[in-house]
Structure 1
Amino acid sequence: MRSQALRADLLMLLTAMIWGSAFVAQRLGMDSIGPFLYSGLRFALALLILLPLLPLLERRAHSTPTAPLNRHLLLGGGLMGVALALGINLQQVGLLFTSVTNAGFITGLYVIIVPLLGLLLGHKTGLGIWLGASLAVLGMFLLSVGEGFQVAAGDWLQLAGAVIWAVHVLLVGVFARRHDPLRLAVVQFATCALISLLLALIFEDIRLNAIIAAGPAILYGGLFGVAIGFTLQVVAQKHAIASHAAIILSLEAVFAAIAGAWLLGEALQLRGYFGCALMLTGMLLAQLWPKKTVTLLTETAAGADAGRRPDQPRVEL
């Protein structure tokens, strides 16, 4: 059991590294194409990769045959896909106006927003969540608020996206208990790709040479960020401890900052790094604080994305 848990933790650490670095691909992809087209193409690519692998993944995940697609599964996956499309495109557009580092840390606030939204559904929220939320708010102030108490438009979009990611996690918590998570993932990917491509057709100029130029970023975002990241997560969380999963996957923000500094030359002022540290501390405190009862967060927020998302993919995921 210990070896399985260690293997799961290492796989989730690799997943967090992939997801964090995918923020760079998301940013670079928009040097050539618009945000909606980038989102649509990378989720369409992930869908094309996963569809032929679905029978194999289902055989590994289930000892008995799964039920065929039905109206309720399509409805659940569709609602998840709508939330995914909103979250990923808010994140994608926000990257036009803020740094990869800011995007990674602000997106990670969904870890705290989930249980706060859970209050509306009657869930109890412990002291650790409130302390973590307070640290995260202070950290975001130091990271994002500039002279004259101005906040970059991209940071507001990332914060709105974090709220949508939290809603997505709640939807996953409802539907993943009722339906096969692999098939839910495929339906939500298809929904997200369709919505994003429709938005691209309406609002963006689509040219083949621009798509080819963005090819490496689309390939990395679709193949690694979504398809491989999702598969690693499914394999890892079969033997993962829920609290471990939430903590390790929240390190995505740290890897996003490292990738942004290394590949894009991004740098923050000292107060910005201190703000990132406070936000990460708040996210970890919300997970590690002793709980008398199991909260919705530890059940569903691990890896929620994302694309993402715990027993189905997070998206940048």
Structure 2
Amino acid sequence: MEQVKGNLMLLLTALIWGSAFVAQSVGMDYVGPFTFNAARNLLATGVLVPVVLAFGGKHRGNLWQRLKPDGGTVKGGLCCGLIMGIASNLQQVGLSMTTAGKAGFVTALYIILVPILGRFLGRTVRKILLLCVPMSLVGFYLLCVKGDFTVSFGDFLVFCCAVFFALHILFVDHFLRKGASGVRVAWIQFAMTCLLSALGALVWERVPAGGLGSALWGARWPLLYTSVLSSGVAYTLQILGQKYTEPTTATLIMSLESVFAMLSGWLFLGEVMDFREIVGCVLVFVAVLLAQL
């Protein structure tokens, strides 16, 4: 029963992340990628406060005493936040330099990077997953790659993003096994990601012509969607769901993000899937189902 609960949490995570691609694209019409990430994670940090109070254990006292994490949770949140901050900003910048199809395929490489990196940590991989991983990879290729595959600088950034997302999954699993508080890890990692993104904005981005406040107000709806759902809800569901699901299976379920992104494009933007893309969707879904055997 707990495994089913974890799988459902991760499936909902993938659905939210996939549908958030539209909001992320619209948001960058108003502000740069670092500014967008800084704002969304700042809002997400605030969104998680009631979540921590509700699900963060039976702490008593004033507000800070109820929010205060233990040392292991602080370490986990800072480490996961550093990795997630690098990954999310690499993805956001890379998406502005490459096509969505290539970015989807390259990002999907974290599916095979998780078990590969896990082997270096002494973890074993179930035999069925040795079939599921390449099957899902072929599915993503059919679903996402359009035209000739060439490696641009944007593709390279997204590949680096995939590496850091794989590390993030493994680090979350590691700290949860050590007894860290899941919702507090999420809360700290958003604050850390906000800080890294703000530093990136100060270094590499200029203030919009109409002023930062006006630009952020123009991006208010994408920011609210990505901060409340994509960041606040989905990343928390990921951390809580991984308590009941081993890392490679969790990765396969969350990789459905690209499938849901394609479906969201069809639903909200009128995009139509061709036969090749439908075959890709089927392969990914079959791979995820087999992974549960």
- Please tell me the TM-score bracket, short chain as reference: 0.7 to 0.9
The structure 1 residue matched to 2:230, chosen from 212, 225, 229, is 225
The alpha-carbon distance between structure 1 residues 73 and 244, as it changes in their structure 2 partners (threshold 3 A), is closer
Q: Which residue does 1:82 correspond to in 2?
A: 82
Contact 2:186–2:236, Cα closer than 8 Å, also in 1: no
Q: Which residue does 2:17 correspond to in 1?
A: 19
Q: Which residue does 2:186 correspond to in 1?
A: 185
The alpha-carbon distance between structure 1 residues 33 and 265, as it changes in their structure 2 partners (threshold 3 A), is farther
Opposite residue 51 of structure 1, the aligned amino acid is V
How far apart, CA to CA, are the structure 1 residues paired with 2:67 and 2:219? 38
How far apart, CA to CA, are the structure 1 residues paired with 2:56 and 2:189? 17
How far apart, CA to CA, are the structure 1 residues paired with 2:175 and 2:3? 26
Q: Which residue does 1:199 correspond to in 2?
A: 200
How far apart, CA to CA, are the structure 2 residues paired with 1:183 and 1:237? 15
Matched residue SS, 1:124: coil
Listed as ranges, the gaps of 5+ residues in structure 2 are 60-64
Contact 1:83–1:168, Cα closer than 8 Å, also in 2: yes
Answer with 121-130 or 39-48: which moved more: 121-130
The alpha-carbon distance between structure 1 residues 192 and 115, as it changes in their structure 2 partners (threshold 3 A), is same
Q: Which residue does 2:128 correspond to in 1?
A: 128
Opposite residue 122 of structure 2, the aligned amino acid is G
Answer yes or no: is 1:161 the counterpart of 2:161: yes
Answer with 7-16 or 48-57: which moved more: 7-16
The alpha-carbon distance between structure 1 residues 244 and 60, as it changes in their structure 2 partners (threshold 3 A), is farther
CA RMSD between the two structures: 3.6
The alpha-carbon distance between structure 1 residues 69 and 232, as it changes in their structure 2 partners (threshold 3 A), is closer
How far apart, CA to CA, are the structure 1 residues paired with 2:80 and 2:239? 17
Tell me by how many angstroms 1:122 deviates: 1.9
The alpha-carbon distance between structure 1 residues 267 and 38, as it changes in their structure 2 partners (threshold 3 A), is farther
Tell me by how many angstroms 1:26 deviates: 1.2
Summarize deviations over 1:60-97 as a string: whole Å, max 9, x none: 89xxx989534443232111111001111122122223
The alpha-carbon distance between structure 1 residues 111 and 276, as it changes in their structure 2 partners (threshold 3 A), is same
Matched residue SS, 1:176: helix
How far apart, CA to CA, are the structure 2 residues paired with 1:152 and 1:283? 30
Answer with 127-136 or 165-174: which moved more: 127-136
Listed as ranges, the gaps of 5+ residues in structure 1 are 291-317
How far apart, CA to CA, are the structure 2 residues paired with 1:245 and 1:173? 10
Contact 2:82–2:192, Cα closer than 8 Å, also in 1: yes
The alpha-carbon distance between structure 1 residues 161 and 282, as it changes in their structure 2 partners (threshold 3 A), is farther
The alpha-carbon distance between structure 1 residues 258 and 221, as it changes in their structure 2 partners (threshold 3 A), is same
How far apart, CA to CA, are the structure 1 residues paired with 2:177 and 2:3? 23
Contact 2:85–2:197, Cα closer than 8 Å, also in 1: yes
Summarize deviations over 1:144-174 as a string: whole Å, max 9, x none: 3633x42455444333222211111111122
Matched residue SS, 2:29: coil
TM superposition score normalised by structure 1: 0.73
Q: Which residue does 2:35 correspond to in 1?
A: 37
Answer with 258-267 or 192-201: which moved more: 258-267
Q: Which residue does 1:215 correspond to in 2?
A: 220
Answer yes or no: is 1:50 the counterpart of 2:48: yes
TM superposition score normalised by structure 2: 0.78
Opposite residue 232 of structure 2, the aligned amino acid is A
How far apart, CA to CA, are the structure 2 residues paired with 1:145 and 1:20? 19
Answer with 184-193 or 227-236: which moved more: 227-236
Opposite residue 35 of structure 1, the aligned amino acid is P
Summarize deviations over 1:282-301 as a string: whole Å, max 9, x none: 5554x24x5xxxxxxxxxxx
How far apart, CA to CA, are the structure 1 residues paired with 2:76 and 2:255? 25
Summarize deviations over 1:14-44 as a string: whole Å, max 9, x none: 4432221112111111111111111111011
Summarize deviations over 1:233-279 as a string: whole Å, max 9, x none: 577778x6669866654432211111123334556665455455545
The alpha-carbon distance between structure 1 residues 249 and 279, as it changes in their structure 2 partners (threshold 3 A), is closer
Output aligned runs, 1:1-317, within 5 Å.
13-59=11-57, 68-100=68-100, 103-104=103-104, 106-139=106-139, 141-142=141-142, 143-144=144-145, 146-147=147-148, 149-151=149-151, 153-178=153-178, 179-206=180-207, 207-230=212-235, 248-266=253-271, 270-271=275-276, 274-275=279-280, 277-278=282-283, 281-282=286-287, 285=290, 287-288=291-292
The alpha-carbon distance between structure 1 residues 269 and 220, as it changes in their structure 2 partners (threshold 3 A), is same
The alpha-carbon distance between structure 1 residues 56 and 102, as it changes in their structure 2 partners (threshold 3 A), is same
How far apart, CA to CA, are the structure 1 residues paired with 2:167 and 2:4? 30
Opposite residue 184 of structure 1, the aligned amino acid is V
